[in-house]
Structures are given as C-alpha cells and as structure tokens.
Amino acid sequence: MRKILVVGAGQSGLQLALTLREHDYDVTVMSARTPDEIRAGRVMSTQCMFHDALQHERDHGLNLWEEQTVRVEGLGVSIAGPDSGRVMDWVGRLDNYAQSVDQRVKMAGWLELFEQRGGKLIIHGVTTADLNALARMYDLVVVAAGKGELVQLFDRDPARSPYTSPQRALSVAYVHGVGPRPEHPDFDAVRFNIVPGVGELFMIPGHTLSGNCHIMFFEGVPGGPLDCWSDRPGPGEHLERMLGLMKQFLPWEYERSRDAELTDSRATLTGGYTPVVRRPVGELPSGTAVLGMADVVVANDPITGQGSNNASKCAASYLDSILERGDQPFDRAWMERTFERYWEYARHVTDWTNAMLRPPPPHVMDILGAAQENDVVARRFVNGFSDPTDYQHWFMDPDKAADYLASLPTRT
C-alpha cells in the first residue's frame, strides 16, 4: 500500500486525503489544530463553491452540510455612481445552486470523517526541518498548507505572476440579521457590488457554526478608504466600521444590513496577500522533492470567489494523476506534469481573476451593461463562476466580446 503524507488540513488537502482513502492508500494528514480548536477559532476565509466544485464533494460523500446550508441561486452585479446611487444593477440565475460553508465547520468535520475512514491524523505544526525528517517515510509528500514556512519551499514563477504586492485590502464579517434584497426576495444570491476606484463589497449567503448567515466581504483598493484595517479593530468595532463604509458607499446594502450582528466573537478577519503562481516542486534540504497544491502554488485574489473552487478542482486533478501513476515513482518529472495538468484549468481562472483586479475595460462594461438588459448574457456571466474556462471564448478579448454581443438576437 502506497504511503502519502498530506501537510495541511484545508479544502484541497483534506479532499485529496479523503478521496485517496477510497482507493486504500495509506494516508496521513498533518494539521496544526484539532477539530475542536478549528471550531473554536477565528473564521479563516470567505468561500462560495459553485456547482462543478460541489459535485466533487457529492461524488465522494463529502457534502455533509448540503441539506442545511442555504442555496445560492443567483449572482448579482451592482455598480455605484458618484452619488452612491446605482448606475447598474442586475442579477442572473445560476443553472445549479452554489453554497458557502464556513471552513471552521467543514474542515473540523472533514478531519473527523478522515479518521472515521481509516486515515491517520497527526496534530502538529510542521516546519521545514520536521518535513525533512519525515519525507523519507512516504512515497509522496503533498504540501497543502498555503501559509507559513513551508510555502517558502516553492519559488515564485515570475512568468505567471504579474503582481508583486497585494492588490486589495480584505475585511470580512460573518453576520446574522441581513434581510433579503427587495429585487429578488424569493431566492438568495451573491451580490457583487463595485465602487469604481474604491473597491468591492460581496454579500454571500452562507452557513456557519450557528446556522445560516451572511458573509460581508470588502475588497479595498490599496491606499483608498476601504484600506483601513491596519489597526486590527476588535470584533464589535470591526462590524461597525464595515457598516459605516456600506452606508457611505453602498447604501442599498446598508439598508438591509443595518441590524446585522456578528455570528460569534471570532467572526471577523482582515488581511491581504499578493496573487502569485509558484513552481510546483519544492526541494527539502535532503534533496527530497515535495509537491505543492492549491493555494501553495496558485494563490488568486478572492475577487472572483475561486479559492475553494480551485482547491476542490486541484484535489480532483491530483487524485486522477496519483491513481494513474500506479506503482511508478512519484518523481520530480511526474510532479511537474501533475501540476501542468491542473494548470491547464487554473490558468484560465488566474487570467480572469487578474483581469478583474484592474479597472474594467470598455468591452467588459459593454458586457455588464448588456447583462442588465439581456438575461442570456447575465446567465452566461454568472454561470462562468462554476466553469471559468468559458470566459476565454467571449469575455476576456474585446473582439470576441464584440462578436458575441453582435450575435445576440435583437430585442424588440
């Protein structure tokens, strides 16, 4: 039985570990925290997983919270004008619903499920020195911990990484008490609010420790009015500051959120990171090669909500590559091929996400404007969040965008 070590207990690492157990691999996961410590900790992220990624979980019996989690049935776009009114506002329906489960809930539950399915769990923070000593005991070591010392094993790929600094200042609050959008009171949708030159606010229906909730998520342009979190305010002040910014820049979202309350005392988060693509193979001091996955090797800004989706799809791709390898060695050449197979998908997500960080060019504004008038355009845009490879055919290129819009039937 082949022995595999997965370092990190997030979406990608645990999904890979759990699915490898189905094929009787001897799998060990190293996590810095116990399930109870994860549940008692601070929120770790925002996330909204779309149909294609959710299906990976369903296929392997990992969708433990699907029945109780609110269904996200649409995605809407609003653009604020100079007077804080809306110059654009529309919502498109998803062909299949999305869902967002607090990672404190999911990762704690998956760690417990991993042990129930015969996996070996070691609770220990891992340093490079630790991994150097452990690696020789395994046929393959996968590093899925996107933060900390181990990331330094993987060199930045400058040809695939256009940015050298964070492109947004991030702030998050999980809350109860947000009312429905009056434009669509009969279904829940992610709302993507854009304040040109200032930043974005996402309102994401989700599920947390205390039940269904909303995730309020600001992305601020560095140096602008939403880049105001360096003092790391306490939870109550954090929420009040977010509500104040909503009232100033996005009053339509403030009106339904004015009575919001934090879901718990650890429901806020601030930060920021540089979008980066790293080389997939790291080398330990002993010369042993280790394989990076998901955020370790492709870390996109969360402006397109693809972090957990990428992680799920990376785990599914790596699973296929491992199974196909059979008894052959997991050498450096195989690791490179395994990543490039995933990159054939992830490059489209990276290109789209990097483009969304820049001011929208005229052809993108044409598409968003057309979506307000034409549900066909709106649906194609919002369903691309499940399969972003579609954007290359019509959204990313001005000529393709013009051809697509021109091909639409004239509305009478």
pLDDT exceeds cutoff 50 at 20: yes
- CATH number for 3-46+57-61+103-163+276-356 (one of 3.50.50.60, 3.40.30.10, 3.30.70.100, 3.10.20.600): it is 3.50.50.60
What is the percent of the chain with per-residue pLDDT over 90, rounded to a whole number? 97
* One-letter-per-residue 3-state SS of 34-83: CHHHHHCCCCCCCCCECHHHHHHHHHCCCCCCCCCCCCEEEEEEEEECCC
Give the pLDDT of residue 178. 98
Read off the DSSP letter of residue 306. Answer: -
pLDDT exceeds cutoff 50 at 412: no
- Identity of the residue numbered 87: V
pLDDT exceeds cutoff 90 at 268: yes
Query: For 87-105, what is the mean pLDDT?
Result: 98
Query: For 235-251, what is the mean pLDDT?
Result: 98
Read off the DSSP letter of residue 150. Answer: G
What residues are paired with 391 via a beta bridge? none
Given pLDDT bands bounded at 50, 70 and 90, which one contains residue 79? very high
Instruction: Label the pairing between strands 276-277 and 211-220.
Output: unpaired
pLDDT exceeds cutoff 90 at 147: no
CATH architecture of 72-100+165-271: 2-Layer Sandwich (3.30)
Rg (alpha carbons) of the chain, rounded to whole number? 21
Query: For 220-230, what is the mean pLDDT?
Result: 97
> Alpha-carbon torsion 196, 365, 190, 184, what sign?
positive
- Identity of the residue numbered 200: E
Read off the DSSP letter of residue 182. Answer: T
Read off the DSSP letter of residue 210. Answer: T
The structure's pTM equals: 0.96
pLDDT exceeds cutoff 90 at 98: yes
Domains of the chain by residue range:
3-46+57-61+103-163+276-356, 72-100+165-271, 362-407
Query: For 340-352, what is the mean pLDDT?
Result: 98
Given pLDDT bands bounded at 50, 70 and 90, which one contains residue 409? confident
